[in-house]
Amino acid sequence: MVMERPTRRVLTIEEARALPPPTPAELERHRAALESMPMAFFALGPTSAADDFDAARAQLDETLVKLGSLKPRAAAMFVGRFDPAVLRGLDKLVTKLKASPLHGMGPHDDRNWPAIEAWARSLRLEPESSGAG
């Protein structure tokens, strides 16, 4: 998890892909340290560009509010990917329901890695100035 491997450099895409997302329990356990450091979040939301991006972004915003005092300096949403072959349990069942937007959807990857990388490079996550000096 990122919090256990602090770094002063931007991770490569390959390094970032290898990191699992933190669980709520991990965020809570590391809350004090996280509150003192700059952070940014990006999320992969809709599974395709045709999906309702605004609704997915609203879900991200609602989730960020639930983090309370953990305030990222930046948050972005990007279109994601969908691979029904990796789904298990109830997630797989949802794709079988005719009323589901995932019904009959084949695998695809609509992530725009150049846009994600450009957003990551644009971040300036230096510690905030105390105003002194």
pLDDT digits (tens, 9 = 90+) for 104-120: 889 989 999 999 989 98
Q: For residue 2, what pLDDT is reported?
A: 39
Overall average pLDDT of the 59-68 stretch: 87
- Picking from 121, 117, 126, the residue whose alpha carbon sits closest to that of residue 39 is 126
Q: Is the pTM of this model over 0.75?
A: no
* Secondary-structure breakdown of the chain: helix, strand, coil percentages, each rounded to the nearest 5: 40, 10, 50
pLDDT digits (tens, 9 = 90+) for 43-58: 888 887 777 888 889 9
Overall average pLDDT of the 10-26 stretch: 76
Which of the pair, 115 or 133, is modelled with greater confidence? 115
The domain locations on the chain are 2-82+109-122
